[in-house]
Structures are given as C-alpha cells and as structure tokens.
Amino acid sequence: MLEQIDLSKSIDKKEYEEITDDLKIKLGELQRKAWKMEIPIIIVFEGWHAAGMTDVINRFLMPLNPMGFELYTTGEPCVKEMKKPLLWRFWTKIPKKGSIAIFDRSWYRRAIIEHFVKGMHENDMEKCLNGMKFFERQLTDDGYLIIKFFLHVSQERQRERFESIRKKNLPLFLVEEEGKNYLDNYDEYFHLIERSIEITDTHQAPWTIVEAEDLRFATAKVMAEFVKTLEEKIEQKENENEMAHSHGNTNCAIPGLNSSVLKNVDLTKSISIKEYRKKRKNYQKRLVNLQYELFKQKKPVMIVFEGWDAAGKGGDIRRLVEKLNPRLYRVVPIGAPSDYELSHHYLWRFYNEIPEAGHTAIYDRSWYGRILVERVEDLCGRQEWKRAYREINEFEETLSNYGMIIIKFWLHIDKDEQLRRFEEREKTAHKKWKITPDDWRNRDMWSLYEGAVDEMLHRTSTTYAPWTIVESNNKHYSRIKVLETVVERLEKELGINDE
Amino acid sequence: MLEQIDLSKSIDKKEYEEITDDLKIKLGELQRKAWKMEIPIIIVFEGWHAAGMTDVINRFLMPLNPMGFELYTTGEPCVKEMKKPLLWRFWTKIPKKGSIAIFDRSWYRRAIIEHFVKGMHENDMEKCLNGMKFFERQLTDDGYLIIKFFLHVSQERQRERFESIRKKNLPLFLVEEEGKNYLDNYDEYFHLIERSIEITDTHQAPWTIVEAEDLRFATAKVMAEFVKTLEEKIEQKENENEMAHSHGNTNCAIPGLNSSVLKNVDLTKSISIKEYRKKRKNYQKRLVNLQYELFKQKKPVMIVFEGWDAAGKGGDIRRLVEKLNPRLYRVVPIGAPSDYELSHHYLWRFYNEIPEAGHTAIYDRSWYGRILVERVEDLCGRQEWKRAYREINEFEETLSNYGMIIIKFWLHIDKDEQLRRFEEREKTAHKKWKITPDDWRNRDMWSLYEGAVDEMLHRTSTTYAPWTIVESNNKHYSRIKVLETVVERLEKELGINDE
C-alpha cells in the first residue's frame, strides 16, 4: 500500500495559498455545522518520524475554533497508563458530540512500538489490531466520524530532516529514543505499519496516505480531505434525519424469549446462621490474602452486581469488602448518566472506571443498564440496545485479552420477596430513604424486565466473562454464594490451592 | 501539640459496638442530609506510618453510600504530577457540592516528604504551608467543610506494627521506601509535622489528633468527630439560609471607581503595514526559539487575554501561536461554566487547565470572568466577587512561587471602534457567526464593565503577575505589542539577551 505512493508531489507557494484560502473558510464553517449537528470527530495523524507532522498539524489548527477541538500528543505512557489496557488511554479521550479530538500519533503507533516492548500486556499484534477495529467500529456505529492520515516520506528524506533537527539542537522529545529506534529499524517497522494499515483500512474508518515530502502539498491534502469527508458525513446525517422523520419512531420493546434461565432458578436455597458465620469468616480471610496476591501479580478485577431492586446488592457488596484494604478496591455505583456522559459513546463512562493493574472495581449496576433499564424504558433506540450485546461482549473480550478478571452476578429474588422487602424498608426509619416511587414503577414492569434479563444472561455469558445467578431470597445464602464464587474464581486465576 | 497527647486510651469490643452502632446510622443520615443541602466535604487522614489508617478508613467507609464519596490514596507523584504544582493534585480532586472526598494522606504528607527531595520546586516550607492555608481558606469560604485527622502513635508502637507487616510479607506499598525513611527519621519528621500542624490548625480547618494505639478507640473517635462537626455545619448552614431569606438579596453592582486607568489609554497608537510585517516576522522567529528554551528549562507559562468584545483577542492569539509547535502550547477558551463546573469552587476549573512544566497555556478569557461578567451580570453573589480579588491574587502568587510565568493582557478599544467592528462582522458572510445578541447586550452595559475593568486592573496587577494594557483600535499595533511583550518578558525570565 505504501510502496505504490508517488512521493514526488508538490505545489508552489502561490498555488498553496489559492487552494487553502478557500479551504480555511470552509473548515471553519464545517466545524460550526458539525458542532450544531452534534457530530463528534476523531482525526488521527500517523506517519514516519520527522514526516513534518508538527507543521501540518499547526497549519491545520489555525482556521479552527479552539473551543471545539482538543489536540492530544501521544507519547510514552506514564505509570498510570501502563497499568491500564492500551485503548483506555484513547477511550477516555474521545470527544463529546460536536467536538473534535485530534491525535498526534495514536493507538497505532503505540501498538507497534509496544509490540516490541517486553512485559507489555498487549504484544499479541493480531488481538491488538482486532481490538482497534472493535473500537473504531463501535464509535462510527454511534455516529462518530473517524479520519485517519498517514504522512508518508522516504527513508532518505526522513534522515535528512532528522539531521536538520539535530543540528538545530531542538529539545529531545522530537528525536527521543523511540524515534531513533523507529528510524534505525525502518524496514522492520515498514512491514508492520503497512500490515496494520491494511488490516485497519476499514469501510467505516479508512486511511488516507498523505505524500509529505512537500509540506505545502501535505497540508493542502489534509485540509481538502477533511473538508470532503466531513461534507459527506453531514449530508449523510441530514438524510438520516429525514428518514427517521418519514418512517416515524421504530423504537419498541420486544417480549421475553420463550426459553428462560430465570424460571429454573431454585429460590428456596438457604443456609443456617451458624454455617453462615463460619463460612463468611473463612472466605473473608482468604479474600484478604487474595487481594494482596492480586496486587503482587498485578492482575485487575471487575466484579459486576446486577439484580432486582432490593435483591441485596448493597449488603452483598459490604460483606465482600468488609475486611479488605480500601486502597485496593473501589465500589463504583452506576446511576443514570449525566448530560455530559450522554454526549459520549455510552461505553465511555465505563472505560473511565476500569481498575488499574492489581486493583479491584466492584460495580453496583453497570454497563448492562443499556440492555436492561435503557431497553425496557425506551431510553435509547432499538438499534442501539440491539447493537449493545455485541458491543458489551467485545468490551469484555478486549479487557479479558488484556488480563482483566471479570466476575458477574445476577441477584435473583421473586416478586413476593421483593414486596416483603419494600414494605419492610418503608417501615424502618433509617431504611426508608432506600425506597422511591421508581422502585414501585419498576416492579410494575417485572415481566418486561424478566424478558430483558433472560436475553442478557443468554447472550452475554461468555467463556471469558460468565454470569453467576445468585439465589437471593435468603440473604445469608446470597452473601455466601457471592463470597464463595469470588474466592474460588480468584484462587483459580492466581493458581492458588487453598484447601 | 503531639507530645501532650495521652496515648493510653482504649475501649473494649462491647463498648465499641455500643458506641458505633448508633454512630453508623447517624453517619448515613448525615451523608444524605449534606447531599441534599449540597455541602461539599473534605476529610484528611494523616498520621504516622503504620498508625492503622487502613483499618480506620475502611471501617469509616462501611456505613457511607459509595455514590457520595471518593477515596484518594496519596502516594508518590507520577511524572505528570511532578510537572505541576503540588496543590494541583488536590485542587483537581476537590468534591462537587454534596459529595465527600477522603484523602488517605494528603498535601501535608507530600509537602513534608518533598521538602527533603532535591530538585522539587516547592521545598520552601513556609511558602508551601502558606499556600495550603490559602487553599483551605478559599474552600471553606465557599462553603466546603474540611475535617483533618492526625492518627498518632508512639515510635515503639510504630516499630511493632511495621515488623508485623514485614513478617506477613504484605506488598511493598505498605512499607515502601518513603515509609521506612519516615520511620528512621522519626525525630526530624516529628518536628516538621508538629510545626505544620501548628501553623495549619486554623479556625476554618482545625486538626483533630486521634490517639491510635487502640484502633477501636481511634475509629470511634473519628466517627464521633465527623458526626459532631457535620451536625454543626448543617446547623450553621440552616441558619445562614434563614438569614439570607430574612434579609433579602444583597446582591448588587457597585459603580466604577473615580480613578480610572482606562481613561488615560492612548487609543490613537498605530503602526505602518511595512513595520508590522517586519516586526511580526522578527518576534515570531524569536518566539519559536523561546518556546524550545522554555521546554528545556521546564518553565510553564500562562498568558491571559481579556478585553472588550471584538477587541481582537482571537486574532492576536493566532499571530502569537502561528509559528509555534502545537505540542507545547494550548489555547484554552473560557466560556460560561457548565453545571458540573458550577458545583465546584470556581477556581477548580482553572486548576484543571494549568500548563505543565515547559508548556504554555493561552487563555481566551479566564478566571477574571468572576470579577467582570459574573460581577456585572449578578451571576454570583456580591460577597463572592468581592472575595475574588484576594483569591485571584493568591492563586497567581501560589503559581508564581512554583515558577509559573504569568502574562496578562487587557485589549482595549473604544465604543465607536467596537460598533464599527460589530457592523463589519454582520456584513461579512464567514464572520457573521461571531456576533450574537449577547454582544449587543454587553455593549449596553459598557459603563458598568468599565468600572469593573478599572477595579480589576488596580487590584490584581501585582509584581508577580502584572497587567499589560494593549491599545487595540489599530489591529496591527495590538498584535505587535502582544508579541513584543511576550518575547521581552520571556527573554528576561530565561536570561536571554537577543539584541
């Protein structure tokens, strides 16, 4: 792909000004239009070291309103970033609707460089590139526009520019170690880069190769390509809006599937208070050691709690963390998204909350809200929650490939038990705040939820992130089953044989 | 202060349960009440290493709703944090209204440790402690509740606990290098800690020394102290609300002062196009080198642009950055705060935007909005903007002590020139978006703004952060004066003699 490129292209100063004077005005206009239409835009600049990226980017920025873009320079990861999956650094930086995020080097360069670094988690290149395709497709599915540029220069030209930077005695970050390495191993990198571009040159997020021997030509091409692509996107979105209007709202909830996992759950299971105390003590003690072992082995853990209102999520979580070190775990309660969160892809806020290596995050409700409450209450479009099963599986697969241990609980009670607990809460002074009109409303939609839960358990129970259904009519039984499941799973993952 | 403490205090298990059962329910109730009343709370835990902080904190957290608090463990700074002033790490973590931020070690411990570290910017302890007093007073002035605990144990007890941690072979972060050092230099630290506590034991944010030889006693004392202090704060706020109602709204704008800086500005200043081109080229070239020199010397720069609507802020900024490396500068446009920003201290969002060492941030409007638009438009209370002059000076002084270079411009035009520019914008297709009804409305309040600007220029022009008034009726003159001021100031700060 790169070898066929004709690198001799250039334009003179007069041509450049003629072309770009017009493009600059258009750039500003389109930025304002995208802002109004709430189109989020991601621009990726990749390329050889010393390909002139600094100049091209600065010229590209001049006509843009700084209110609407953010430039991210991607360099070596800091300690915090090294404790998270590669894509975390970029997921957390995706723009909100209407804004532009510009990446000066991106996930591509990091993947290629870190591929060669020993001890990095993600040096399986195939899996890594797949994760990127997931990432980009999930964003474009959600309405994001992704524009990817590769600035291409010959090896000779690169060497020349390098020398001139060196002579000017500019600061090190322009010719840092990684850069020199990049240059010295041109052939090796060339192959990897070419392959990465081929694999990720997708329909949704195609690459544009920019001939960058002449920086005026490169700048003009980048501007023109941006204008063209954004104009197309705007036109497409305008058509979509019309379509949506003429066809009306197709949003509706579908009834529960025929096969049911929930129907077969035995809710009579219980445990004596004596056995409960004994087991609880035992598991909590083992869990303290497991927590330190996770830290030593640098393994991150995500524990998800979903379940009916009043099924005992809070109580189960409290018993789980009671003896733990608060520096190593975090309880993350997930409520309705804020406006700011709503203006991003819905997975964005969950990427912001993933635990770092050696730490545990415990979710009181989670990203499954997309296919539970948001589905049942029509809070998102039918196409959106339909798509979410795949997105969630991809999300968990990507994390699991990185080394994340994922444990998911569905706390199950029946409708009578829920009623008993609601009434008890209303009677007890310091528990009354827990019960709200929402709870009664959700209860009325029990059978719709039942259908959604069944589909969720079927479609998102995977080898890397299986669901555990917890029979929770008996609170003590529920707490022990949670403790037991976590302890046994962690002992298995850590290769510990306790008994 | 610490030496007088009786460390023999303890309670048995039964007493502990009796006391805390009641406190736990109260804790939950008060948390919900503070949430509703929008009281933000900061809890600081300091103390000797191995003082049992982990246990005390985890027990304290159990009765709290995780939705409303965040625990921050303060350890050694990461690379990014080392490029910012010490307090930046904490300013960015202050809770929003109604929430609780709990700091497991805080600015105190970091200041004491980093005091001994060579090459850290802030090892002048007096200035550092003063900065902390500013920080805490600014927050409490704004309605924050700050509760500070120091967990005290004897040196012998500390040594014992250390040994037992070592024997259990727990992970390193519990007995890291810094901790050992802390223990080995007990006497030296003891003195510094005692002095820090004395200096910062203020009326607004007093210290509570907690006897922590017995962890049950310590936990109960922490809970009880929290309950007592929060109850007082709630009562105080309820009274304030009543007062506010009975006295009505005292919010009003005051007229301009008699003495005027603006009246004496000579707006006829101009420059020929030929001279403009020549000077611009010269200054832009020098600025490129200065930018790299700043990076080498790791000096951060903040450049503030304030001025009348249509005074040319955007154009001046564009000429300033036109030739620069976009990796080293950032234009930060400041608009109306979001709801999320409004739920924090108003300086919070500006702390989030300070540049790291070696980088430059250019503000298109700034924190001065507090004493300009927010004052004139009654967007904040009279007490709030009155207080802001001091807060802003303290903010800039703290940053300047850290090594920040602060340059501030007021772009001045007269009312006729503004009218000409407004009309021109309305006539030009691709400039029309720049003019909004707000601009015309602001224009009607010209004289109110004039008073506010005059007071701002008088009261916030300091030796460490002086204002430069830029005569901007002539655009070319304005651009050159900005370039010249920045270049000359930076050359002076960097010790460069260009001509």
The C-alpha atoms of residue A168 and residue A161 are separated, in whole angstroms, by 11
**Cα separation of the two ends of chain A:** 58
Chain A residues with beta carbon closer than 8 angstroms to that of B80: 78, 80
Put simply, the answer to whether A327 touches B170 (Cβ < 8 Å) is no
Amino acid found at B160: E
In a domain, A50, yes or no: yes
Which candidate, A294, A269, A253, places its Cα nearest to that of A487? Answer: A294
**Which stretches of chain A sit within 8 Å of chain B by CB?**
25, 28-29, 32, 54, 57-58, 61-62, 65-67, 71, 73, 78-80, 104, 170-171, 173, 292, 295-296, 318, 321-327, 330-333, 335, 338-340, 364, 430, 433
Last residue in a domain, options A246, A270, A304: A246
Percent of chain A with pLDDT over 90: 67
What is the extent of the structural domain holding B294? 262-494
The predicted-structure confidence for B25-71, as pLDDT tens digits, reads as follows: 999 999 999 999 999 999 999 988 777 888 999 999 999 999 999 99
Put simply, the answer to whether A58 touches B326 (Cβ < 8 Å) is yes
Question: Among A296, A321, A332, whose Cβ lies nearest the Cβ of B171?
Answer: A296
The predicted-structure confidence for B310-336, as pLDDT tens digits, reads as follows: 999 999 999 999 999 999 999 999 999
Put simply, the answer to whether B171 touches A330 (Cβ < 8 Å) is no
Chain A residues with beta carbon closer than 8 angstroms to that of B71: 326-327, 330
- Residue A242: half-sphere exposure toward Cβ, Cα within 13 Å: 6
In a domain, B228, yes or no: yes
Look at residue A60 in the predicted model and tell me its pLDDT: 95
pLDDT average, residue stretch A422-428:
92
Look at residue A123 in the predicted model and tell me its pLDDT: 60
Q: pTM here?
A: 0.87
Percent of chain B with pLDDT over 70: 91
pLDDT at B250 over 60: no
The predicted-structure confidence for B199-243, as pLDDT tens digits, reads as follows: 899 988 999 999 999 999 999 999 999 999 999 999 999 988 776
Is the distance from CB of A398 to CB of A85 less than 8 angstroms? yes
pLDDT at A5 over 70: yes
Last residue in a domain, options B197, B215, B246: B246
pLDDT average, residue stretch A428-439:
87
The C-alpha atoms of residue B328 and residue B288 are separated, in whole angstroms, by 11
Band of pLDDT at residue B175, cut at 50, 70 and 90:
very low
A236 and A384: one domain?
Answer: no
B279 and B315: one domain?
Answer: yes
B116 and B186: one domain?
Answer: yes
Look at residue B242 in the predicted model and tell me its pLDDT: 72
pLDDT at A105 over 70: yes
The DSSP element (H or E) to which B211 belongs, if any, is: strand B207-211
Which candidate, A131, A115, A119, A129, places its Cα nearest to that of A188? Answer: A115
What is the number of other CB atoms lying within 10 angstroms of the CB of residue A331? 24
Q: Is the dihedral of CA B145, B89, B464, B353 positive or negative?
A: negative
Q: What is the DSSP string of A377-425?
A: TT-S-HHHHHHHHHHHHHHHHHHHHHT-EEEEEEEE--HHHHHHHHHHH
- Burial label for B154, CB within 10 Å (0-12, 13-18, 19+), is middle
Planar angle of CA A323, A325, A328, nearest 5 degrees:
135
Q: Which residue of A has its CA nearest to B289?
A: A170
The predicted-structure confidence for A157-208, as pLDDT tens digits, reads as follows: 888 887 887 787 766 554 455 656 666 677 777 888 888 898 899 988 999 9
Look at residue B180 in the predicted model and tell me its pLDDT: 61
Q: Which of A325, A365, A435, A494 to mutate to test the interface with B (most CBs of B within 10 A)?
A: A325
Look at residue B335 in the predicted model and tell me its pLDDT: 92
A381 and A459: one domain?
Answer: yes
A137 and A94: one domain?
Answer: yes
Question: Among A28, A62, A339, whose Cβ lies nearest the Cβ of B430?
Answer: A28
The predicted-structure confidence for B85-104, as pLDDT tens digits, reads as follows: 889 999 999 999 999 999 99
Band of pLDDT at residue B253, cut at 50, 70 and 90:
very low
A17 and A80: one domain?
Answer: yes
Look at residue A391 in the predicted model and tell me its pLDDT: 93
Band of pLDDT at residue A254, cut at 50, 70 and 90:
very low
Q: What is the DSSP string of A26-77?
A: HHHHHHHHHHHTT--EEEEEEE-TTSSHHHHHHHHHTTS-GGGEEEEE--S-
pLDDT at A82 over 90: no
pLDDT at B478 over 50: yes
B242 and B272: one domain?
Answer: no
A149 and A107: one domain?
Answer: yes
A177 and A214: one domain?
Answer: yes
In a domain, A281, yes or no: yes
Look at residue A258 in the predicted model and tell me its pLDDT: 52
Put simply, the answer to whether A61 touches B433 (Cβ < 8 Å) is no
Question: Among B171, B292, B326, whose Cβ lies nearest the Cβ of A61?
Answer: B326
The predicted-structure confidence for A118-170, as pLDDT tens digits, reads as follows: 555 556 788 888 889 999 999 999 999 999 999 998 888 888 887 887 787 76
Sheet of A467-471, strands arranged across: A329-333, A360-364, A301-307, A405-412, A467-471
The predicted-structure confidence for B338-385, as pLDDT tens digits, reads as follows: 999 999 999 999 999 999 999 999 999 999 999 999 999 999 999 899
Cα dist. B334→A61, B186, B371, B398, B423 in Å? 18, 47, 14, 21, 25
**Contacts of A332 by beta carbon, 8 Å cutoff, 6+ apart:** A353, A361, A362, A363, A364, B66
The DSSP element (H or E) to which B385 belongs, if any, is: helix B382-402
Q: How far is A231 from chain B (nearest CA, A)?
A: 17
Q: Classify A208 as helix, strand or coil.
A: strand
Look at residue A187 in the predicted model and tell me its pLDDT: 74
Look at residue B199 in the predicted model and tell me its pLDDT: 87
Q: Which of A22, A60, A327 to mutate to test the interface with B (most CBs of B within 10 A)?
A: A327
Six-digit token pair at A67? 């209110």
B224 and B325: one domain?
Answer: no
Look at residue A182 in the predicted model and tell me its pLDDT: 62
Q: How far is A430 from chain B (nearest CA, A)?
A: 7
Question: How many folded domains does chain A comprise?
Answer: 2
Amino acid found at B421: R
Chain A residues with beta carbon closer than 8 angstroms to that of B335: 67
Look at residue A259 in the predicted model and tell me its pLDDT: 60
The C-alpha atoms of residue B85 and residue B121 are separated, in whole angstroms, by 8
Put simply, the answer to whether B58 touches A25 (Cβ < 8 Å) is no
Cα dist. A253→A371, A379, A441 in Å? 11, 11, 17
In a domain, B252, yes or no: no
The C-alpha atoms of residue B282 and residue B483 are separated, in whole angstroms, by 10
Which candidate, B385, B396, B399, places its Cα nearest to that of B455? Answer: B385
Q: How far is B423 from chain A (nearest CA, A)?
A: 20
Q: How far is B254 from chain A (nearest CA, A)?
A: 32
**Which stretches of chain B sit within 8 Å of chain A by CB?**
25, 28-29, 32, 54, 57-58, 61-62, 65-67, 71, 73, 78-80, 104, 170-171, 173, 292, 295-296, 318, 321-327, 330-333, 335, 338-340, 364, 430, 433
The predicted-structure confidence for A46-70, as pLDDT tens digits, reads as follows: 988 777 888 999 999 999 999 999 9
In a domain, A499, yes or no: no
Put simply, the answer to whether A25 touches B430 (Cβ < 8 Å) is yes
Question: Among B29, B71, B338, whose Cβ lies nearest the Cβ of A430?
Answer: B29
A410 and A482: one domain?
Answer: yes
pLDDT at B421 over 90: yes
Alpha helices in B124-214 (DSSP H): 125-141, 155-167, 177-184, 186-200
Cα B386 to chain center, whole Å? 18
Look at residue B98 in the predicted model and tell me its pLDDT: 95
Put simply, the answer to whether A325 touches B295 (Cβ < 8 Å) is no
Among A82-86, A304-308, B251-255, B477-481, the range scoring the smallest mean pLDDT is B251-255
Greater confidence (A257 vs B166) lies with B166
In a domain, B2, yes or no: no
Q: Which of B69, B327, B428 to mutate to test the interface with A (most CBs of A within 10 A)?
A: B327
B385 and B287: one domain?
Answer: yes
**Contacts of A43 by beta carbon, 8 Å cutoff, 6+ apart:** A100, A101, A102, A103, A146, A147, A148, A149, A226
pLDDT average, residue stretch A215-234:
95
Which candidate, B311, B334, B330, B365, places its Cα nearest to that of B479? Answer: B311
The predicted-structure confidence for B435-475, as pLDDT tens digits, reads as follows: 888 899 989 999 999 999 999 999 999 999 999 999 999 99
Look at residue B330 in the predicted model and tell me its pLDDT: 95
Last residue in a domain, options A184, A214, A246: A246
Band of pLDDT at residue A253, cut at 50, 70 and 90:
very low
pLDDT at B251 over 60: no
Cα dist. A441→A437, A438, B435 in Å? 6, 5, 48
Chain A residues with beta carbon closer than 8 angstroms to that of B433: 32
Angle between helices B446-459 and B437-444 (to 10 degrees): 80
Among A30-39, A490-499, B30-39, B65-74, the range scoring the smallest mean pLDDT is A490-499
**CATH code of residue B366:** 3.40.50.300
Which candidate, A208, A248, A229, places its Cα nearest to that of A100? Answer: A229
Going by the DSSP 8-state scheme, the letter that residue A363 receives in this structure is E
Alpha helices in B265-306 (DSSP H): 273-297
In a domain, B7, yes or no: no
Look at residue B13 in the predicted model and tell me its pLDDT: 92
pLDDT at B258 over 60: no
- The chain-wide mean pLDDT, for chain A, equals 89
Q: Is the dihedral of CA A24, A106, B284, A10 positive or negative?
A: negative
Is the distance from CB of A324 to CB of A288 less than 8 angstroms? yes
Look at residue B77 in the predicted model and tell me its pLDDT: 85
In a domain, A256, yes or no: no
- Residue B433: half-sphere exposure toward Cβ, Cα within 13 Å: 11
Count of A-B CB contacts under 8 Å: 83
The C-alpha atoms of residue A364 and residue A315 are separated, in whole angstroms, by 11
